[in-house]
């Protein structure tokens, strides 16, 4: 069923975390500690891994008991959830994405997934891809608001949008010949600029908050 | 932990389902996937960048070699991951107000789901089954789903204008430029910092 919507792929991975009562701190806590120190901006590992629109990593401690008369049950393992919305092209090229991920950020992948059962390391690409796919769950329904644009295309479009707003504001009432000359120069300048780096648009926020009742 | 990055909120939820109900839910998703008109409300909500539902059969939790114990569960589980703009309360309120029929169709098969209306009980249920995000990344943190859609409209119109700009006479260009401005004027909102939720 639909892991893919247009040219965007909804990757869902559940990797069982090593349960070792002798490990101090526990492996799930070590993952959480590492993730807490990881940048979420343009120096994020996922900004270096091409084609990631949005991604999250979550330690799932257990399933949730919703109350009686439901049956109470528990997982035997904790799981690391990796949820990624990525460019896969029309052919749904997941292997290519995983391969680029392993090439771009092997040290981060190893630092996080070394706490998971059976993780072979990112250095052995084929084993890494096999491992990730063994942990993959098929998405049952995947919604994407924009499903036909890559990350660089979206970043460029946002850059264009902002520049066009400025151009229009500063060229009100300009005579046609000057307007045309300025626009041609503006378009050439914009085309020659690289798109913004992933994760970089806008000013940095020092304060991040989270919580379910915001 | 952070459920928020820039203007996007990451929601995770998991709900238990009796096994026989899973197939009904799969059928509902199958119909929703293939009858695009049924997705209209979801698209019109316009503040969801990506969302997914994943049905996990009780025996389908990944099991690898290396001493991992096999799960022994009575229920199948429905995982829900959403990337939306705005606050948690706005999201749940809008979901409940606009998509109540669709939400009921998806979650009514989950244990103890109270229905999406009235919203107070629905919020209580979501708060119970939600779990927090440890790490959240977005390539465009200061842009909402609407910003992204608008930016692509501007880019497309801009490319069309730029393609012809040099070949036109000044007056022809001025007319085309006016047409361009009219086309894009509703799509030029500035991206930037998210308002602070209070």
User: So what's the pLDDT on residue B35?
Assistant: 87
State whether residue A53 sits within 8 Å of chain B by CB: yes
User: So what's the pLDDT on residue A201?
Assistant: 62
pLDDT digit string (tens) for A4-48? 999 999 999 999 999 999 999 999 999 999 999 999 999 999 999
- Contacts of B64-69 with C-beta under 8 Å, sequence gap 24+, read B64/A16, B64/A117, B64/A118, B64/A131, B64/A134, B64/A135, B65/A117, B65/A118, B66/A18, B66/A117, B66/A118, B67/A117, B68/A16, B68/A19, B68/A76, B68/A77, B68/A117, B68/A118, B69/A19, B69/A76, B69/A77
Residue A131 has phi, psi (to 5 degrees) of -65, -50
User: So what's the pLDDT on residue A214?
Assistant: 46
- Distance between CA atoms of residues B1 and B134, nearest Å: 4
* CA angle (A154 as vertex; A184, A185 as ends), nearest 5: 10
Out of A75, A141, A145, name the one closest to residue B52 (CB). A141
- Distance between CA atoms of residues B127 and B110, nearest Å: 15
Residue A168 has pLDDT above 90, yes or no: yes
pLDDT digit string (tens) for B117-131? 999 999 999 999 999
Mean pLDDT lowest among A188-192, A203-207, B17-21: A203-207
User: What are the angstrom distances between the C-alpha of A34 and each of A18, A59, A108, B4, B131?
Assistant: 16, 12, 9, 18, 19
- Residues on chain B touching A202 (C-beta within 8 angstroms): 6, 141-142, 191-193
State whether residue A82 sits within 8 Å of chain B by CB: no
Taking residues A41-69, report their average pLDDT. 95
H/E stretch holding A12: strand A8-16
User: So what's the pLDDT on residue A92?
Assistant: 83
Taking residues A179-195, report their average pLDDT. 96
Q: Searching chain A, which residue's CA lies closest to the CA of residue B56?
A: A137
A96's tokens = 């290519």
Residue A211 has pLDDT above 60, yes or no: no
State whether residue B158 sits within 8 Å of chain A by CB: yes
Out of B4, B53, B187, name the one closest to residue A210 (CB). B4
CATH code of the region A4-134: 3.30.70
User: So what's the pLDDT on residue B1?
Assistant: 57
Taking residues A181-210, report their average pLDDT. 79
HSE-up of B93 (CA within 13 Å, CB side)?
Answer: 7
Cβ–Cβ below 8 Å for B5 and A8: no
Residue B24 has phi, psi (to 5 degrees) of -65, -45
A64's tokens = 């949730």
Q: Under a CB-based contact definition with an 8 Å cutoff, are residues A166 and B164 in contact? A: no
Taking residues A140-156, report their average pLDDT. 95
Q: Under a CB-based contact definition with an 8 Å cutoff, are residues B151 and A161 in contact? A: yes
Q: Searching chain A, which residue's CA lies closest to the CA of residue B164?
A: A184
Taking residues A173-201, report their average pLDDT. 94
State whether residue A180 is helix, strand or coil.
helix
Q: Is cis: bond before A116, omega within 30 of 0?
A: no
> For chain A, how far is it from start to end, CA to CA, in angstroms?
34
- Per-residue tens of pLDDT for chain B, all 198 residues: 589 998 999 999 999 999 999 999 999 999 988 888 888 877 777 889 999 999 999 999 999 977 799 999 999 999 999 999 988 998 899 888 888 888 899 999 999 999 999 999 999 999 999 999 999 999 999 899 999 999 999 999 999 999 999 999 999 999 999 999 999 999 997 777 666 554
Out of B70, B134, B173, name the one closest to residue A59 (CB). B134
User: So what's the pLDDT on residue A206?
Assistant: 46
Q: Rounded to 10 degrees, what is the CA torsion of A60, B80, A43, B152?
A: 180
């Amino acid at each position: 069923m639909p892991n893919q919507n247009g040219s965007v792929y909804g990757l869902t991975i559940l990797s069982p975390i090593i349960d070792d009562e002798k490990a101090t701190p526990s492996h799930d806590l070590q993952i959480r500690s590492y993730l807490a120190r990881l940048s979420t901006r343009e120096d994020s590992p996922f900004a270096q891994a091409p084609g990631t629109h949005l991604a999250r990593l979550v330690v799932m401690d257990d399933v949730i008991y919703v109350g009686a008369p439901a049956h109470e049950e528990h997982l035997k393992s904790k799981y690391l959830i990796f949820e990624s919305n990525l460019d896969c092209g029309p052919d749904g090229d997941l292997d290519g994405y995983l391969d680029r991920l392993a090439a771009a950020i092997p040290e981060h992948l190893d630092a996080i997934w070394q706490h998971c059962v059976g993780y072979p390391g990112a250095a052995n690409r084929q084993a890494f891809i096999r491992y990730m796919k063994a942990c993959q769950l098929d998405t049952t329904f995947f919604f994407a608001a924009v499903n036909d644009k890559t990350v660089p295309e979206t970043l460029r479009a946002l850059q264009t949008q902002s520049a066009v707003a400025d151009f229009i504001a500063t060229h009100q009432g300009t005579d046609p010949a000057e307007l045309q000359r300025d626009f041609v120069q503006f378009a050439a300048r914009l085309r020659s600029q690289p798109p913004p780096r992933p994760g970089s648009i806008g000013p940095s926020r020092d304060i991040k908050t989270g919580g379910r009742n915001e | 932990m952070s459920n928020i990055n820039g203007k996007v909120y990451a929601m995770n939820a998991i709900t238990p389902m009796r096994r026989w109900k899973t197939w009904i839910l799969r059928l509902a998703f199958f119909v929703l996937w293939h009858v695009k008109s049924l997705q209209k409300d979801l698209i019109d909500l316009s503040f969801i960048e990506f969302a997914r539902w994943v049905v996990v059969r009780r025996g389908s939790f990944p099991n690898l070699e290396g001493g991992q114990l096999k799960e022994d569960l009575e229920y199948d589980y429905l995982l829900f991951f959403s990337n939306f703009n705005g606050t948690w309360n706005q999201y749940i309120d809008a979901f409940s107000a606009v998509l109540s029929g669709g939400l009921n169709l998806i979650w009514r098969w989950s244990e103890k789901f109270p229905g999406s209306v009235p919203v107070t009980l629905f919020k209580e249920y979501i708060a119970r089954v939600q779990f927090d995000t440890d790490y959240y990344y977005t390539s465009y943190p200061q842009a909402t789903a609407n910003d992204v859609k608008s930016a692509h409209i501007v880019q497309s119109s801009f490319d069309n204008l730029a393609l012809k700009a040099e070949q036109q006479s000044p007056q022809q260009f001025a007319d085309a430029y006016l047409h361009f401005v009219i086309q894009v004027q509703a799509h030029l909102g500035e991206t930037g910092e998210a308002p602070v939720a209070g």
